[in-house]
Every structure is written in structure tokens, then in C-alpha cells.
């Protein structure tokens, strides 16, 4: 029940963002469906990946903010979500292959431009698991969990038995998905990205506690961390639009538009 996808359904293109529908086909891999909005004169293109159980519509407001700020944007449904193919909703580990394909498409579609990557929750995990083989030039990782075991335990109903409940549930992973919980540890992979990244987290997130976030920041060699005070596991842009813009836009500008001598600003 937890990994089954919802019915595949078409999404209506927004009227206030000039997008084109794109479908990525690959043998022995799910079809991935998304939108691309090409901002003429942009210094970079940004891939946006949504959270678990959502689709690219969840990233639409972020895409508009970034487009208005001068970036081209690429929004895709991860496998098992929205219009894309696939039979399951995973935890970012298998979706890492989706993220790699989408980043490769972005490089091909916007040659010569820098590529940023912004993911929320599942989308953030998929970007971590796509690296180091598929790299963006800068990463915004929102509400990323450190290990699947920890974040699953925080979701369990009985407080004093959370660890045991999580172990019983996750013991099924190998049989059902072909990998185990010990494989799904973004904290072990984030340091291999080797590119500028920033972490965004809610201080009241019920699923990703402060220790997980601090562990991720430490593993990422002290990359900047922006707390959203009082925020749970919610849409951080909607929660505090001003803070989101003040944190994300300067980071992307510095790393996509203003890095290196001779780069265009």
C-alpha cells in the first residue's frame, strides 16, 4: 500500500508559465513526462523535482519564481507519479535513475548553460542518489532525510516502539523492491556530490528531526543550512515565501550566474 502508485493522469499546463510538454523514453525504464520553460537569455536552467505522492504541479510556484528571476525551468514527474510511467512510489533510491535522466536531458536541451537542481523530500533524495554520475552545478535540497530507517521510525505511531516498527516494515524492502534500508542512506551519499549545495529544513518537521539535518550538513562538508522556524514537512515556499526567496535566489545566482572569471552575470 505504501509503495503503490496512484492512477496515471494527465496534467493541465499552466496559463502563466510558457511550458512545453516533454516525454523521455528509454528502453527498460519508465517514461518520464514533464514541462520545460525556456527563458531566453538565461544564465542557467534549473531542474525541479517534487516530493513523494505529488507531481510536478507541486513545483509550479517554485518554477514561476525561478522563471521570473531569469532562469529556464524543467519540471518532471518522477516515476510512479503524475503522468510518468512506473508502478511504484519509492524513497529516492530508485528515482535516482529518473533524476539522472532528467539532468542529462537538461544538459542536452540547454547546451553551454549551467544546470541547477532543486528537489523537495523525495525529489531531493533522488538528486542525491543520481550523483556522482549525474551532476548539476548547484543543488537546493529541501527536507532531505538522512536515512530511510530514521525517517520511517519517526512516522511510526507508537513512540516507544518506533525503531522496532520501522525495522519490521523495512524488512520487506529487499523482497518487494530489490534493495534494503541500509542502501537508502542519503547521509552516506551527499558528500560525494562535490558541488555547491544548500539544505533547507523545517524546525518542526515531524519526520526529519534536527539530528538528521545536522548530520547531512556535516556530511556535506559544512554546506549552508537554512532553517524555516516552526515549519513542519510542508511546502517551504508557501510557508514563508520571503525567506525562501531570500535564501534560494542568492545561492543560485552566486553558483549559476556569477561563478568564475568571465562568466555572465
Which domains does the chain show, CATH number per domain? 20-147+184-257 (3.40.50.1820)
Distance CA 8, CA 78 (A): 12
pLDDT at 214: 96
pLDDT at 243: 98
pLDDT at 198: 98
Tell me the C-alpha to C-alpha distance, in Å, between residue 27 and each of 32, 145, 178.
12, 31, 20
Helices (DSSP H) in 75-147: which residue ranges? Answer: 95-109, 122-130
pLDDT at 181: 83
Q: Which residue positions in the chain have pLDDT lower than 70?
A: 1, 158-160, 258-265
Q: What is the DSSP secondary structure assignment for residue 13, as one 8-state letter?
A: P
pLDDT at 164: 78
pLDDT at 261: 37
Distance CA 63, CA 172 (A): 36
- Cβ proximity of 234 and 142 under 8 Å: no
pLDDT at 222: 81
Residue 70: alpha-carbon gap to chain centroid: 21
pLDDT at 50: 97
- Helices 241-252, 60-68: axis angle to 10 degrees equals 60
pLDDT at 106: 97
Distance CA 213, CA 101 (A): 27
The beta strand positions in the chain, using DSSP E, are 20-26, 29-37, 44-49, 72-76, 114-120, 138-142, 197-202, 225-228
113 Cβ partners below 8 Å, 6+ apart?
A: 42, 43, 44, 45, 72
147 Cβ partners below 8 Å, 6+ apart?
A: 181, 184, 185, 186, 187, 212
pLDDT at 218: 97
Amino acid at each position: 500500500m505504501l509503495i503503490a502508485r496512484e492512477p496515471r493522469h494527465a496534467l493541465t499546463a499552466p496559463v502563466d508559465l510558457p511550458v512545453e510538454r516533454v516525454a523521455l523514453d528509454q528502453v527498460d525504464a519508465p517514461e518520464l513526462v514533464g514541462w520545460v520553460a525556456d527563458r531566453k537569455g538565461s544564465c542557467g536552467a534549473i531542474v525541479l523535482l517534487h516530493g513523494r505522492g505529488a507531481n510536478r504541479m507541486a513545483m509550479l510556484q517554485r518554477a514561476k519564481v525561478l522563471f521570473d528571476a531569469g532562469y529556464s525551468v524543467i519540471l518532471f514527474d518522477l516515476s510512479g507519479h503524475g503522468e510518468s510511467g512506473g508502478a511504484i512510489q519509492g524513497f529516492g533510491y530508485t528515482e535516482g535513475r529518473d533524476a539522472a535522466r532528467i539532468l542529462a536531458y537538461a544538459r542536452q536541451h540547454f547546451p553551454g548553460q549551467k544546470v541547477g537542481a532543486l528537489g523537495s523530500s523525495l525529489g531531493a533524495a533522488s538528486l542525491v542518489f543520481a550523483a556522482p554520475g549525474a551532476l548539476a552545478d548547484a543543488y537546493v535540497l529541501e527536507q532531505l532525510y538522512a536515512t530511510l530507517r530514521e525517517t520511517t521510525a519517526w512516522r511510526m505511531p507508537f513512540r516507544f516502539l518506533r525503531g522496532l516498527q520501522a525495522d519490521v516494515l523495512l524488512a520487506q524492502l529487499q523482497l518487494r523492491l530489490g534493495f534494503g534500508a541500509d542502501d537508502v542512506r542519503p547521509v552516506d551519499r551527499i558528500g560525494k556530490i562535490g558541488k555547491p549545495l544548500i539544505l533547507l529544513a523545517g524546525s518542526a518537521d515531524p519526520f526529519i528531526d534536527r539530528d538528521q539535518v545536522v548530520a547531512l550538513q556535516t556530511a556535506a562538508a559544512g554546506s549552508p543550512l537554512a532553517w524555516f522556524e516552526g515549519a513542519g514537512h510542508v511546502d517551504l515556499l508557501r510557508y514563508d515565501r520571503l525567506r525562501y526567496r531570500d535564501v534560494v535566489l542568492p545561492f543560485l545566482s552566486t553558483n549559476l550566474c556569477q561563478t568564475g572569471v568571465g562568466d555572465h552575470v
